[in-house]
């Protein structure tokens, strides 16, 4: 039997409640950014954490499951153990991940023309730690802890912002594709900060721009705002 198609408009009640609590300005452009590998150096932080656990990340593909190995034996960690490893990582390192170069400066510049929201699939109990981590590095923007695909959340955010340009940045292709289906008029940037990862994955077909650099992403957004008169 064919698996059912995912619901690209699905919106968890807890995510909706977080969005409802925002004070978005209708008619002002909106930038919705992922955090891991867009604003924060997720993979570099993960590698440091794994080493402390006697593990290492073998970047053979754009995936974590199947690519974590034991130091010394190179034994692959079974998929069943990955949730506990990632849970431990988020609990230990969410507050200390380093910002991606130029993210704070670029978004500070863009904030003169647009409102900014961080939409991240961080565990709900780590939302405050993620927000504090970002704010401490010049990225003091509202943080929404999302669940699942991001199409529904982006559409709901866009509706709250009214008829204004919406920009979405994410490293995961299926999130970009979900947003393309849920909010077709959005401008979608496929952003992968770690260049090792970027080489493992072609640009998403549903994206409008692909980059590993915030300065280039900023130039793209500015140019689209200029074109639309915002």
Q: Which pLDDT tens digit goes with each residue over 96-152?
A: 999 999 999 999 999 999 999 999 999 999 999 999 999 999 999 999 999 999 999
- Give the pLDDT of residue 2: 53
The radius of gyration of the chain's CA atoms, rounded to the nearest angstrom, is: 18
Residue 77 to residue 68: CA distance in whole angstroms: 6
Average pLDDT, the chain: 94
Angle formed at CA 140 by CA 134 and CA 143, multiple of 5 degrees: 75
**What phi, psi does 192 have (nearest 5°)?**
-130, 110
Average pLDDT over residues 191-209: 95
- Give the pLDDT of residue 61: 83
Give the contacts of 136 (CB within 8 A, at least 6 positions apart): none
Per the structure block, which two tokens stand in for 43? Answer: 């993979």
Residue 32 to residue 5: CA distance in whole angstroms: 25
Q: Strands 166-170 and 30-33, how do they pair?
A: parallel
pLDDT band at 37 (very low <50, low <70, confident <90, very high): very high
DSSP-derived secondary structure letter, 63: -
> pLDDT tens digit string along 75-112?
999 999 999 999 999 999 999 999 999 999 999 999 99
What pTM value is reported for the model? 0.94
Cα dist. 19→44, 75, 191, 213 in Å?
A: 30, 42, 23, 28
Alpha helices in the chain (DSSP H): 13-20, 42-52, 82-93, 103-110, 127-135, 151-161, 173-182, 195-198, 214-228
Angle between helices 151-161 and 173-182 (to 10 degrees): 50
Q: Strands 166-170 and 187-191, how do they pair?
A: parallel
């Amino acid at each position: 039997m064919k698996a059912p198609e995912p619901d690209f408009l699905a919106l968890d009640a807890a995510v909706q409640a977080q969005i409802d609590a925002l004070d978005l300005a209708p008619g002002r452009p909106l930038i919705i950014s992922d955090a891991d590998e867009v604003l924060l150096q997720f993979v570099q932080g993960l590698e440091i954490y794994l080493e402390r656990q006697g593990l290492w990340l073998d970047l053979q593909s754009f995936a974590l499951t199947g690519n974590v190995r034991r130091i010394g034996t190179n034994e692959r960690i079974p998929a069943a153990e990955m949730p506990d490893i990632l849970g431990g990582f988020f609990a230990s390192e969410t507050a200390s991940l380093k910002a991606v170069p130029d993210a704070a400066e670029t978004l500070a510049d863009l904030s003169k023309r647009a409102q900014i929201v961080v939409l991240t699939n961080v565990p709900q109990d780590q939302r405050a730690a993620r927000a504090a981590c970002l704010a401490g590095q010049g990225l003091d923007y509202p943080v929404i802890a999302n669940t699942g695909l991001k199409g529904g959340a982006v559409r709901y955010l866009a509706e709250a912002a009214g008829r204004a340009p919406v920009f979405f940045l994410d490293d995961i292709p299926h999130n970009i594709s979900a947003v393309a289906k849920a909010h077709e008029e959005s401008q979608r940037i496929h952003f992968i900060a770690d260049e090792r990862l970027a080489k493992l994955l072609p640009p998403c077909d549903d994206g409008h721009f692909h980059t590993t650099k915030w300065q280039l992403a900023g130039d793209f957004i500015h140019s689209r705002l200029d074109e639309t008169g915002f």
